[in-house]
Structure 1
Amino acid sequence: NPIISTCKDAKEVKAIRKELDSVARDHAQFGNILSMLSVTVSQKSLDPSLETGSLIIKEEVIGRDRDRDNILRMLFDSTTNGVQQTFQVISIVGIGGIGKSTLARYVYNDERVRIRFD
């Protein structure tokens, strides 16, 4: 019967439209987040200045001497005559952009670390 078929088709179309509306709402809600993430990832892969390494220019590190010295004290307190007594992990945590990687490089490049752990 064509009338029943048309009614069935109309219900299917209505269900499909409802599903598409749901997908559109989800995209509006999460699409912006995903596009921001992909931009961030692509910026990091394109901008080599965002990559970290161990090279640091000493004159550029300002105000981190106390933090560096505290970390060095923790490192050196666990060694005797240059021999590691215990396995130790020192975490440097904080929000992005406050200098965690810079501090880690500052400690890594310190001459006392090079002598002690060479």
Structure 2
Amino acid sequence: MTAFIEAASPHVMNTYGRVPIALERGQGCRVWDVNGKEYLDALGGIAVNTLGHNHPRLVPALQQQLTKLIHTSNYYHVPGQETLAKLLVERSAMTNVFFCNTGLEANEAAIKIARKFGVDQGIARP
């Protein structure tokens, strides 16, 4: 395993202190290294993906979607996005949904929505 890690290191920017484990595959919340040793994946993609690995319902859904659209801008209407938004609205106390790509966009939108709410309430400098 050490040779694999050393061979991979020259091309990957060393921005984190890496654990000397080279992961190869996953199933649910478990992952296996290139030597077959099993681990519990307690990091969940570090706030990127907490859906686990190789889920039997998620993988076929993703494969089906990949044959249609991988990603589109919010400049376009996407029927699947509207379907998901409708389900989210039905299951929450909200009236609509904002989809974005990052936490930065989510925070920016929250600030803008809060400011708009303040202006709508007559607050001069919300």
TM-score range with shorter-chain normalisation?
under 0.3
TM-score between the two structures when normalised by the length of structure 2:
0.24
Query: Which structure features the higher share of strand residues?
Result: 2
Higher RCO structure (Cα 8 Å, ≥6 apart): 1
Query: Which structure features the higher share of helix residues?
Result: 1
